[in-house]
């Protein structure tokens, strides 16, 4: 699908330069860029015997931080205007100031109105804001999420793509979102960690059904089972992505259970932190 609207989610504490790759990408794709600067509201005080003074202090801090994120958005807009690529690029900058428990909901509501959501910097698993932002963008929108990990990702001209395939629905959704990206590729590898033949997920011949489907779209591909040999699935996939010098990893995004769906599954989380290259996720 052509990308006409791309949202880049920007932590207010990140440097302006972290948005550079988003500018380059949107310029190449001739897509409109919507940058959303994200910030967390201060936690309201717990009820106590100290009267209303604590709430007054909290209100002052809330107003100060609200002004700070608005100023940050204005400064980023000015920086973008001064650092636009040569090619024409339309963009807008806004900000989202959310309480901790509403970050995912607020982000999800806005990301639904784009073709692709970007995280331009590296994924920080210790950042509550990033964890909740990714949760909202991935699980509550039906949109693909590209975590760029600070790397260039020429979506219009990718040559080497690794499909991390486990036979599940989320993987199939991710492949569908990536289908148009494979058109110019020279090397697309369906990569499976310890696939089991005749299993419910993989069928009689692991990867064969997906290969048949993609071949009808003229995708140049290879089916590549890889053995974990005592390593984790994530480490095994990361090693293979490194060996083939993949410009993009495509995979489904998972949570553990319905009660814990705000946590990424361990394989997805480790891929985000260890792959050191762009990942396209879908759920």
Q: Give residue 203's pLDDT.
A: 85
Q: Which domains does the chain have, with CATH numbers?
A: 5-147 (3.40.50.12370), 158-282 (3.40.50.620)
Q: Give residue 262's pLDDT.
A: 41
Helix (H) or strand (E) holding 266, with range, is: helix 266-274
- Rounded distance, CA 270 to CA 277, Å? 12
At how many degrees (to 10) do helices 103-111 and 128-139 cross? 40
The whole-model pTM stands at 0.91
At how many degrees (to 10) do helices 266-274 and 233-243 cross? 40
Per the DSSP assignment, residues forming a β-bridge with 187 are 160
Q: Give residue 132's pLDDT.
A: 92
Q: Give residue 162's pLDDT.
A: 98
Note down pLDDT in tens along the chain; length 283 residues.
Answer: 689 999 999 999 889 999 999 999 999 999 999 999 999 988 777 655 555 567 788 888 889 999 999 999 999 999 999 998 877 789 999 999 998 889 999 999 999 999 999 998 888 888 999 989 999 999 889 999 999 988 999 999 999 999 999 999 999 999 999 999 998 899 999 999 999 887 788 888 999 999 999 999 999 999 999 999 999 999 999 999 999 999 999 999 865 444 344 445 678 888 998 999 999 999 9
Nearest to 8 by CA among 96, 70, 101, 82: 96
Q: Rounded to 5 degrees, what angle do the CA atoms 239, 263, 202 make?
A: 50
């Amino acid at each position: 699908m052509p990308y006409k609207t791309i949202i880049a989610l920007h932590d207010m504490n990140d440097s302006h330069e972290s948005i550079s790759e988003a500018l380059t990408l949107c310029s190449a794709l001739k897509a409109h860029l919507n940058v959303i600067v994200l910030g967390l509201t201060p936690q309201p005080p717990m009820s106590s015997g100290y009267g209303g003074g604590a709430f007054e202090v909290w209100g002052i801090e809330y107003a100060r931080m609200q002004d700070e994120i608005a100023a940050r958005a204005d400064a980023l807009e000015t920086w973008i205007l001064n650092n636009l690529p040569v090619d024409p690029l339309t963009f807008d900058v806004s900000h989202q100031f959310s309480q901790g428990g509403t970050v995912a909901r607020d982000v999800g509501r806005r990301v639904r109105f784009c073709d692709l959501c970007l995280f331009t910097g590296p994924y920080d698993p210790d950042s509550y804001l990033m964890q909740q932002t990714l949760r909202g963008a991935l699980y509550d929108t039906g949109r693909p999420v590209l975590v760029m990990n600070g790397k260039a990702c020429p979506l219009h001209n990718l040559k080497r793509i690794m499909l991390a395939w486990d036979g599940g629905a989320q993987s199939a959704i991710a492949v569908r979102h990536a289908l148009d990206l494979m058109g110019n590729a020279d090397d697309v590898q369906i990569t499976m960690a310890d696939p089991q033949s005749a299993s419910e997920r993989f069928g009689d011949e692991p990867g064969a059904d997906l290969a048949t489907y993609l071949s009808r779209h003229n995708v140049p591909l290879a089916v590549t089972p890889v053995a974990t040999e005592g390593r984790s699935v994530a480490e095994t996939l990361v090693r293979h992505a490194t060996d083939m010098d993949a410009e993009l990893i495509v995979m489904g995004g998972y949570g553990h259970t319905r009660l814990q769906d705000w946590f990424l599954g361990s394989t997805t989380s480790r891929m985000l932190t260890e792959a050191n290259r762009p990942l396209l996720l879908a759920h």
